[in-house]
Structure 1
């Protein structure tokens, strides 16, 4: 399934009702234990706190998303979710690959807090090339060319 990457910040969320609708639908498909609050509140609070979302887009609709917080050296990822109807088609893996390319273009590494991950999530990150850093605080993918990437 060919997907492209679509960035959603607070301005995009407020200006485009279809984007808002699609993003809430994505997180409404997540199991309740995966989100700290209902989907609409989660998305709005994340954006109001300065976060953003990178989304998988297919046929002009958002079908997957990952929450991102940016700091001086990294993009911190959380809450990866793909719509139920498009799961098991490689959308999440492709989206995370595109996010890695965007982070590298921005000169940043990708990080995910280890404490927030279930075993299945940790296995997926390991398959995608993320490595647990010393001390086990977070997983990191360093796609920067200067780091000897393949």
Structure 2
């Protein structure tokens, strides 16, 4: 069964629990500029910018996809530790890229200044980088 990527706009209680688990072991730089995981989740649910990968009715990974008039920006991409290495993050990236392309917008990745891992990922994917 494939990972289905969807916008998370009306989360169930299980979805909220899954989102908390996704970001529970995330490094602090990934949560920034939000004060904590709850703030990140509340902000993204409140403005409708969460996309998530679902498998067997559970969310395994998520990211924030902001849609601006001139570009789309993907940030805060995270996959549950127990699920990492199985292609969930890549599926989220590929789907965000596809949706942006269909909307006629370039996709940018966003991360804190100087974060080398994010810069390397953006270079591999040939995506522009933005600062959080």
TM-score scaled to structure 1, two decimals?
0.74
The residue aligned with 2:7 is 7
**Aligned partners of 1:61 and 1:114: how far apart in 2?**
26
The residue aligned with 1:144 is none
The residue aligned with 2:30 is 34
In the TM superposition, structure 1's runs of 4+ consecutive aligned residues that sit over 6 Å from their partners are none
What pairs up with 1:45-64 in 2 under 5 angstroms? 45-48=43-46, 50-64=47-61
Question: Structure 1's 131 and 32: CA in aligned 2 closer, same or farther, altered over 3 A?
Answer: closer
**Aligned partners of 2:78 and 2:107: how far apart in 1?**
17
Which deviations, in whole Å up to 9, do the C-alpha atoms of 1:63-101 show, x marking residues without a partner? 011112211122111111000001122221121001111
The residue aligned with 1:69 is 66
Q: Could you say which structure has the greater relative contact order, defined with CA pairs below 8 angstroms and 6 or more residues apart?
A: 2
Please list every run of 5 or more consecutive structure 2 residues that lacks an aligned counterpart in the other structure.
none
**Aligned partners of 2:111 and 2:56: how far apart in 1?**
33
Please list every run of 5 or more consecutive structure 1 residues that lacks an aligned counterpart in the other structure.
133-137, 140-150
Aligned-partner SS, 2:101: helix
Selected match of 1:85 from 82, 85, 88: 82
**Aligned partners of 1:92 and 1:78: how far apart in 2?**
12
**Aligned partners of 1:33 and 1:57: how far apart in 2?**
24
Selected match of 1:97 from 70, 94, 101: 94
Give the structure with higher Rg (CA): 1
TM-score scaled to structure 2, two decimals?
0.83
Selected match of 2:41 from 40, 43, 46: 43
Please, what is the CA RMSD of the aligned residues? 2.2
